[in-house]
Amino acid sequence: MNRLDKRFDALRKNGKKAVILFVTAGDPDLPTTLDIIKALAANGTDCIELGIPFSDPIADGPVIQQSTARALANHITFHEIWNLVEAFRKDYDTPIVLMGYLNPILRYGTDRFVRDCRRCGVDGLIIADLPYEEGEELEPICREQDVHLIYLLAPEEMNARTEKIVHATRGFLYLVSHYGTTGRQEHFQKNLKRIVRSIRTLTSLPVAIGFGISSIQQARDAAEIADGVIVGSWLIRELEQSDTKTETAVQFVRRLRQAVDGG
């Protein structure tokens, strides 16, 4: 059974919501990334979203773009990411989802990429620029390797296309909180609660809200609506301003965990 499924099943049984945190692999360097994700896992993170550095991250806002640029300056390769995940897996069973873009995966080889994900301990895959209509090659490979392919779901009312995305996704549904790129947002789409209710009439998959959660109150609001909260830019902003990144990661996830749990 995929680690994502196990974790969400356990959370559901305990009446808890998922805390999902994004960091870029190789920012500021690989050893520090490993220390950060271990700290996140040890202090209440339910899933780690590990960003694959890419030169044209069109879905990412300025904070994650800068994080990606720092990682690219370190010339991070897929092989180094596999080694990073394998090192993490020696100590932690926390699910890991890779988030990246299609071109580097195609260059590497789609089948080879998914098999290496499975081999090193990756549980899911988000490809930010892969539309549902072009996922027919990747979906069967991911199912065969038990690596969950997670599509981004726009914050819009259910229609025939979004229903197909819901049924094609595995692991959890990533509901984008607003149109545009990642980063700080003052308000959620007003219809998110209604969208989540309509999704739940179609599937038992958990729904996690991401893009733009940048305060404790927003995290609480998202946790009340959905099954999980995804945070990226907010965490990266705090990490880049810190001289003690591991301790910053620890304090960040503890605060977020308390908020999501209703504290």
DSSP string, 175-192: EESSSS-SS--SS--TTH
Residue 28: cis peptide before it, omega within 30 degrees of 0: yes
**Chain segment 74-113, per-residue pLDDT in tens:** 999 999 999 999 999 999 999 999 999 999 999 999 999 9
Ordered domains of the chain (ranges, CATH): 3-260 (3.20.20.70)
Burial group, residue 157, by CB count within 10 angstroms (0-12, 13-18, 19+) = exposed
Q: What pLDDT is attached to residue 60?
A: 62
- In which residue ranges of the chain is pLDDT below 70? 59-60, 178-190, 263
Active-site annotation, residues: 49, 60
Task: Please report the pLDDT score of residue 168 as a whole number.
Answer: 95
C-alpha span between 235 and 256 (Å, rounded): 10
pLDDT at 212: 82
Q: Tens digit of pLDDT for each residue in 222-237?
A: 999 999 999 999 999 9
Give the CA angle between residues 137, 181, 72 to the nearest 5°: 75
The SS3 of residue 106 is helix
